[in-house]
A and B are shown apart, each in its own frame.
Chain A
Amino acid sequence: MKGMTTIVKQTTKLIAGMIFMYGIYVIVHGHLTPGGGFAGGVIMAGSFILLILAYGSDFLKLLKEESGTTMYENLAMIVVLFLAVSGLLLGTHVFFLNWIPKGTVGHLVSAGILPLYNIFVGIEVAASIVTIFLALIIFKEEVSK
């Protein structure tokens, strides 16, 4: 598909990076302010989708199948499961336990294992929404009768 006009391309060049940084902010502060993994992941996916729509898939030379984003999604999910099971192997043998020492309330580095969960769930949600977008809208010409 072709891209959009020059005004849209110039504006997107400025904005897309800031949207990405905002998504990372919402994910990492998930234990202090509302948001967390899901909402931050959707915002991060939004910045990628904006770039693809503004510049067109021909210019960005996208591959014919969505193998890259699917790989990110599966790897992030395996790491989340591994973090959950790690409470079972170390410490007091309870599934899903919060075994990293928790700091004081209100600081950025606190609340044990929760920020790690937020980060990997955010990567997974972003990867899966970009996969859905690519599969339904960009690669729709792949199936023949």
Chain B
Amino acid sequence: MIVYWLCFILFLVGLYGVITRRNLIKIAISLSIMEFSTFLFFALVGYSEGGVAPIVDPADPVKLYVDPLPQALVLTAIVIGLATTALLMAVIIRIYRKYGSLDIREIKNLRG
């Protein structure tokens, strides 16, 4: 039970980083920490006591397998997270070239 609480605490750590950090790259890294905590939570949900990895071997029969569906979902979600982070990094590089600094307090062109 305590591992699920730890996943949620990791999510809140990432959220704290997004809110309070000033450097743009640190905001991007905190966003990645939030998504990794979600993947960890998904992988832990499928665990059942005494199960083995879900690979079928016709030589020796096994009674109990761990649930393989969350593992497939996490694989898809990792690729989606890669695409999100890549696009965020490309926009950060262009912002640095236009504004000249990576501090979020300098980037306030839009108001109102």
Q: Do A and B touch each other in the complex, judged by CB within 8 A?
A: yes
Contact of B89 among A33, A136, A143, A145 (CB under 8 A): A136
Query: Is the CB–CB distance between A143 and B56 below 8 Å?
Result: no
Mask: chain A, 8-38; 1 = CB below 8 Å from B; 0 = not: 0000000000000000000000001110101
Contact, CB under 8 Å: B58 / A106? yes
Say if the beta carbon of A64 comes within 8 Å of chain B: no
Cβ of B90 and Cβ of A34 under 8 Å apart? no
A135 located at the interface, meaning its Cβ lies under 8 Å from any Cβ of chain B in the complex:
yes
B79 x A140 contact (CB < 8 A): no
Main secondary structure of the interface of B (DSSP, over half): helix
Given A38-B75, A38-B79, A143-B97, A132:B86 Cβ within 8 A: yes
Q: Once bound together, how far apart are the Cα atoms of A95 and B75, in whole Å?
A: 22
Residues of A within 8 A of B93 (CB): 136, 140
**Which chain A residues lie closer than 8 Å to B97 at the CB level?**
143, 145
Residue from A106, A125, A135 in contact with B57 in the complex, judged by beta carbons closer than 8 Å: A106
Q: Which residues between 45 and 94 of chain B lie within 8 Å of chain A, taking CB atoms?
A: 53, 55-58, 75, 78-79, 86, 89-90, 93-94
A60 is an interface residue with CB less than 8 A from chain B: no
Distance from A29 Cβ to chain B, minimum over Cβ atoms (Å): 11
Report the minimal beta-carbon distance from A119 to chain B, rounded to whole angstroms: 17
A-B contact pairs, 16 of them (CB 8 A): A33-B55, A38-B75, A38-B78, A38-B79, A105-B56, A105-B58, A106-B56, A106-B58, A136-B86, A136-B90, A136-B93, A140-B93, A143-B94, A143-B97, A145-B97, A145-B98
